[in-house]
Amino acid sequence: MAAEPFLEVKDLKISFPTDDGLVKSVDGLSFRLERGKTLGIVGESGSGKSVTSLGILGLHNKRNAQVSGQIWLDGEELVSAAPETVRALRGAKMAMIFQDPLSSMHPFYSIGHQIIEAYRVHHRVSKQVARKHAIDMLGRVGIPQPARRVDDYPHQFSGGMRQRAMIAMALVNDPQLLIADEPTTALDVTVQAQILDLMHNLQEEFNSALIVITHDLGVVAELADEVLVMYGGRCIEYGTARTIFEEPEHPYTWGLLGSMPRIDRPNLDRLVPIPGLPPSLINLPSGCAFHPRCAYEPRTGGLGTTLTPELTVAGRPGHLVRCHLPTAERQRIWREEVKPKLEAQ
Amino acid sequence: MITYIIRRLLAAVVLLFIVSAAVFAIFYLVPRVVGATPETLATRYVGRAATPETVNLIAHKLGFYDPIWVQYGRWVKGIFLGSEYDYGSGTEHCPAPCFGYSFITRQPVWPDLLDRLPVTLSLAVGAALLWAFFGVSTGVISALRRGSLLDRAAMTVSLAGVSMPIFFTGLIGLLVFSYKLGWTASGGSYTPFTENPADWFYALLLPWIVLAFQFSAQYARLTRAGMLETLGEDYIRTARAKGLPESAVNVRHGLRAALTPLLTIFGLDFGLLLGGAVLTEQVFSLPGLGKYAVDAITNNDLPKVLGVTMMAALFVVVANLIVDLLYAVVDPRVRIS
């Protein structure tokens, strides 16, 4: 029998009842991830990326979020598991790196205290042992003089250092699943590259599964083996990083690629934004959620406005696309219309 | 850290001097502006029956004809070094800290203040313990069970507590618990702790509860708001993501941060109370600084009013100073700047 995947998310739905209606942040998301592999989840603000990651860690408040579907982590189902079971896994087997390390670390506790706390939740060791381990971790994420900096407070660290400390805190229990939510968004460009390198190296060292959530395709290009593009709480394209960057088939992905700055191309100033705004998650547009912003919608013969497209296998095995356009037509548009334009940019 | 403490101390001293000058000016200069003469002041010492000559003599001896800053200087000097008072029938030494003599009783003010302080201190400390405990715990429980029946009930009661003045809750409390039920002492039965701790406790029980009720209500609302704000912070999510149990998330990470701003307010409230819980002391006839102040004002007894005002100012400034220093202990971000 085929070994079951390390992480499998099946038909995950997360919605929040509000006074204005039900906000369907994640609507039927499925994916798998193996140890040692990196999945990039890409999308605009409000596409459901972060909600998904918080959902995997079980961080949604049961009182204001409705979660359904299945999340299998190493043979254990998390959605139906007792909160205490998920809590014990949190920080130990699965950990998370948050976006803004300044607001994500407690301002009143030293970096060391926060790392020691994270370690001692899951290990019955003395403070001295935990402290040694914390110093060791800080050293491994590249903080100079860790034995001295361990007693510093978050505000005494620079942005990049804080993100390193945050990574040290997430990795202190050797988690097998690491989720990084916009890990470099709050950082300087020069520091971004260092942090990405660090995450890549640490992932290889720990052989953990990594989910990188970002709106920055550059980060995805740097780290991801597979890419999941989200739009309006659904997956609209899924494939290997190579496929997504070289043979993307969804018009939205084309739009994302067109709005990404590339140093290796001339005319840096001519980025092409995707017109319109991300859809309302309370009232998704009828038919294909992307149709109001899609330049190719007229070519679907009216299907785009009436029928929600299914996620279907596209050009290659394992490449999934949610679009009404026939595969051959999408490949032709990419080859003949979109790709030349991107390269001419 | 040392320089921070020294800076705060110096600032506190300067502030006290400014307050003293302002207070002195208000009580000695303003009456002059509206037409009081040195003779009117002197009349308060010698009484209306005295001849104009006597009044004039006293006014001279007490220096009421001197410019205001000379008088202020003499008053400040009295506080630090003591002063001599010449009543015509011989001089009287008033040892430092000398706040002068009462117009009415001719008694020095400072020993009076020292007499009254334990009463106010007893009242304030007892009430502060009660309201810190009940206010904060009610606020935390309300925040954690936001929207529940318990939360709504607590917030309704606390709204009532914030809205009802002490002279209302105090009198109702006296009526119900003292006169009708006889559970607590009636007003005016204060006994010093050193004489009889049981009586002391019995006399202060109702004032403590009434005073603490009002503050608890306020602190419950503040704590609840602070907790709700803190629980929405990113670092709370981080604490959960680490796998910490809910209780540790709420207390070590949530409450710790939510309490910090409350510390400032607590210091101010407590400092203010030490200067005299005017309404509470008045309602329950407790012979504390607040009642002393009210009596002094009613009798137009300027030296007493000045003394008790300075005492109150001192407490507020010192409370603030302690809060500032504590803040540096609690919030590491303050230590650096």
Q: What is the pLDDT of residues A156-192, one digit of tens each?
A: 999 889 999 999 999 999 899 999 998 888 778 888 8
B259 φ/ψ sector (left φ>0, alpha ψ -120 to 50, else beta) = alpha
Q: CA triplet B143, B144, B145: central angle to 5 degrees? A: 90
Q: Is the predicted ipTM greater than 0.85, yes or no?
A: yes
Looking at residue B87, its pLDDT comes to: 61
All residues of chain A having their beta carbon less than 8 Å from the beta carbon of residue B238 are 98, 104-106
All residues of chain A having their beta carbon less than 8 Å from the beta carbon of residue B253 are 106
- DSSP code, position B108: B
Give the span between the Cα atoms of B66 and B327, in whole angstroms: 45
Nearest Cα of chain A lies from the Cα of B135 at a distance, in angstroms, of 23
Give the span between the Cα atoms of B187 and B295, in whole angstroms: 17
Global pTM value = 0.82
Q: What is the largest CA-CA distance in chain B?
A: 86
Give the span between the Cα atoms of A11 and A29, in whole angstroms: 5
With CA atoms as reference, the chain B residue closest to A88 would be B243
Q: CA triplet B320, B321, B323: central angle to 5 degrees? A: 65
Q: Which of residues 277-336 of B touch A (CB under 8 A)?
A: 330-333, 336
Cross-chain Cβ contact B243/A121 below 8 Å: yes
Q: CA triplet B158, B163, B164: central angle to 5 degrees? A: 100
Looking at residue B90, its pLDDT comes to: 67
- Model pLDDT for residues A92-133, shown as the tens digit of each residue: 999 999 988 889 999 999 999 999 999 999 999 999 999 999
Cross-chain Cβ contact B244/A121 below 8 Å: yes
pLDDT at A1 over 60: no
Amino acid at A122: H
With CA atoms as reference, the chain A residue closest to B331 would be A108
- Contact of B40 with B28, CB cutoff 8 Å: no
What is the DSSP track for B202-262? Answer: HHHHHHHHHHHHHHHHHHHHHHHHHHHHHHTSHHHHHHHHTT--HHHIIIIIIIHHHHHHH
Q: Which of residues 239-258 of B touch A (CB under 8 A)?
A: 239-245, 253, 256-257
Give the span between the Cα atoms of B156 and A52, in whole angstroms: 38
Nearest Cα of chain A lies from the Cα of B152 at a distance, in angstroms, of 17
Beta-strand relationship, A76-77 and A66-73: antiparallel
Give the span between the Cα atoms of B215 and B207, in whole angstroms: 12
Element (H, E) at A202: helix A189-206
Beta-strand relationship, A38-42 and A209-214: parallel
With CA atoms as reference, the chain A residue closest to B256 would be A108
Write the residue in B245, B253, B330 that is nearest to A106 by C-beta. B253
Nearest Cα of chain A lies from the Cα of B144 at a distance, in angstroms, of 12
Cross-chain Cβ contact A91/B242 below 8 Å: yes
Tokens 């309370």 sit on residue: A282
- Contact of A101 with A154, CB cutoff 8 Å: yes
Looking at residue A270, its pLDDT comes to: 67
Give the span between the Cα atoms of A94 and A73, in whole angstroms: 9
Say if residue B118 is preceded by a cis peptide, omega within 30 of 0: no
Can you list the residues of chain B whose pLDDT is less than 50?
none
Nearest Cα of chain B lies from the Cα of A315 at a distance, in angstroms, of 39
Cross-chain Cβ contact A92/B243 below 8 Å: yes
* Partner A contacted by B151 (CB < 8 A): no
User: B199-234 burial, b if ≥16 CB within 10 A, otherwise e?
Assistant: ebeebbbbbbbbbbbbbbbbbbbbbbebbbebbebb
Best to test chain B binding among A108, A162, A172 (most B CBs inside 10 Å): A108
Report how far apart, in Å, the C-alpha atoms of B238 and of each of A14, A93, A244 are: 20, 15, 32
Looking at residue A51, its pLDDT comes to: 93
Mean pLDDT of A199-224: 89
CA A38, A39, A43, A46 dihedral sign is: negative
All residues of chain B having their beta carbon less than 8 Å from the beta carbon of residue A103 are 233-235
Looking at residue A189, its pLDDT comes to: 82
The mean pLDDT of chain A is 89
